[in-house]
A and B are shown apart, each in its own frame.
Chain A
Amino acid sequence: MLTLVLSAAAIAVLTGLAWAMGFRSDPVLDDAAARAEVEGRLAGFGAVSVQLAADGRGALVRDAAGRLALILPLGDGWLVRRVPADARLIYTDGVLHVVLGELMLRDVRLAVPRLPVWLEGQVA
């Protein structure tokens, strides 16, 4: 039991040390970073259009074949997902909803002040 408590304390100290040393950034995306992120994570996906979230903490990206990919924040990095062809996209009040239907990622919301032209045909 003592070992368990000491281990938990060591975890708290090391995690706190990482925080104190400044390893706690919440980066924002720009167009080039979004392209690099999605192309580096999804084999065969060549980004042609990027719509950044208003705060830069996410993006929707399209390739030449019209396929979509999402970039979402995860810690100091990014989570990238292909958007299934049958996923529902809804745009209301400046927020784009992407219904992925995953257990832990059902409905993604991106604040997008203006819907880009290339998305208009795909959004309800």
Chain B
Amino acid sequence: MTLPDPVSLAVPAFVALIVLEMWLTKRRGIGRYDWRDSGASLMLGLGSTVAGALTGALVLALSLWVHQFGLFDIGWSIPAFALVFVLDDLAYYWFHRTAHRVRWFWASHVIHHSSQHYNLTTALRQTWTGFFSLSFMFRLPLFLVGFPVEMVFFAAGLNLVYQFWIHTEHVDRLPRWFEAVMNTPSHHRVHHAVNPRYLDRNYAGVFIVWDRLFGTFEPERADDRPRYGIVKALTKLNPFWAAIHEWVGMARDARSARSPRELAGRLFGPPGWQPGGGGETSDAIRRDWQAAATPQQEA
């Protein structure tokens, strides 16, 4: 069965919603836009599409090759599609969590977080180097189970389209049942924030239940408004630098490593890792913040 690419079909809606959000930002004074930041985000989106077109055939060929070893011969049906949509989102959760906890994958994913703005153009700020970092590996188990390749890619496309609309400050909280099950603008604002409380939380793509299940959920608080971006903010709004800066930094760090252990830490440790434990990792930042917030006990 041949299915359309949901992302391509959604592009006109993306453009219309960005224009609408700009207008609402102007009118309501909620959220922020900056023409330089938005231009960089949109350029990064285009670059990601080009990178995907250049490497898509290889990923498809690998997926088809793996699928021939599938455990089950799963046919086309509504229940199968519903199941693959949920399982693809679970695979996305683990990819996304790894992308924040392992520098090799972070080097590719950091692009998406490199803006200090949080609006619909931020959603389009996507990786150029996902193929190089081998992030497609996280989806391969679905082919090994036996789901049709086209079905998996269609589900992945729908997942990506869903994640577009949650990159906004114009939607506050949605009905409680929806916030309990689905990823929402509120949950995803937490994910893009660098406040110590929010670092490395809410990895969900579509269903926030994965974060609740695996202990990474953090609700947005009115008394701790999210500040967006990355711990070590980019010094330029140049999209090319945004796309490669972490790879450049990692290569420099790897070259200066003085032992195999240090090299492994530089490549596969958490972002910010330094030998000797003095690095500004998410865990260290949260630990320092908690220590500062806890009143000192009198001896």
Q: Which of A20-28, A53-61, A114-122 is the contact stretch?
A: A20-28
Indicate if B32 sits at the interface (CB-CB under 8 A). Answer: yes
Indicate if B237 sits at the interface (CB-CB under 8 A). Answer: yes
Would A17 and B236 count as touching, CB distance under 8 A? no
Would B34 and A24 count as touching, CB distance under 8 A? yes
Give chain B residues whose Cβ lies under 8 Å from the Cβ of A22. Answer: 26
| B38 and chain A: residue at smallest CB distance | A18
- Given known contacts A8-B46, A11-B42, A75-B237, is B288 in contact with A18 (CB within 8 Å)? no
Smallest Cβ distance from A21 to chain B, in angstroms? 6
Classify the secondary structure of B's interface with A.
Answer: helix
Q: Which of B14-22, B82-90, B93-101 is the contact stretch?
A: B14-22
Would B235 and A76 count as touching, CB distance under 8 A? no
| B249 and chain A: residue at smallest CB distance | A103
Would A19 and B35 count as touching, CB distance under 8 A? yes
Indicate if B252 sits at the interface (CB-CB under 8 A). Answer: yes
Indicate if B145 sits at the interface (CB-CB under 8 A). Answer: no
Would A41 and B194 count as touching, CB distance under 8 A? yes
Smallest Cβ distance from A110 to chain B, in angstroms? 15
Chain A, range 22-75, C-beta contacts under 8 Å to B: 22-25, 40-41, 43-44, 72, 74-75
B225-269 interface bits toward A, Cβ cutoff 8 Å, 1 = contact, 0 = none: 001000011111100010001001100100000000000000000
Would A4 and B50 count as touching, CB distance under 8 A? yes
Would A21 and B22 count as touching, CB distance under 8 A? yes
Tally B residues with Cβ within 8 Å of A.
42
Alpha-carbon distance A24/B35, docked complex (angstroms): 6
Alpha-carbon distance A8/B239, docked complex (angstroms): 14
Give chain B residues whose Cβ lies under 8 Å from the Cβ of A40. Answer: 195, 227
Give chain A residues whose Cβ lies under 8 Å from the Cβ of B46. Answer: 4, 7-8, 11
Would B34 and A77 count as touching, CB distance under 8 A? yes
Indicate if A14 sits at the interface (CB-CB under 8 A). Answer: yes
Alpha-carbon distance A81/B235, docked complex (angstroms): 10
Would B235 and A23 count as touching, CB distance under 8 A? no
Would A18 and B33 count as touching, CB distance under 8 A? yes
Indicate if B289 sits at the interface (CB-CB under 8 A). Answer: yes
Indicate if A111 sits at the interface (CB-CB under 8 A). Answer: no
Would A80 and B233 count as touching, CB distance under 8 A? yes
Q: Identify which of B15, B42, B194 contacts A15 (C-beta below 8 A).
A: B42
- Given known contacts A75-B237, A77-B34, is B22 in contact with A7 (CB within 8 Å)? no
Q: Identify which of B34, B196, B237, B241 contacts A23 (C-beta below 8 A).
A: B34
Indicate if A90 sits at the interface (CB-CB under 8 A). Answer: no
- Given known contacts A15-B38, A18-B33, A103-B248, is B288 in contact with A43 (CB within 8 Å)? yes
Indicate if A10 sits at the interface (CB-CB under 8 A). Answer: yes
Indicate if A2 sits at the interface (CB-CB under 8 A). Answer: no
Give chain B residues whose Cβ lies under 8 Å from the Cβ of A102. Answer: 235
Indicate if A104 sits at the interface (CB-CB under 8 A). Answer: yes
Alpha-carbon distance A81/B289, docked complex (angstroms): 17
Task: Write 6 A-B pairs (CB below 8 A) sorted by A numbering.
Answer: A4-B50, A11-B46, A15-B42, A17-B22, A23-B33, A40-B195
Known: A23-B22, A43-B196. 6 other contacts (CB 8 A): A7-B46, A17-B22, A23-B38, A44-B289, A102-B235, A104-B241
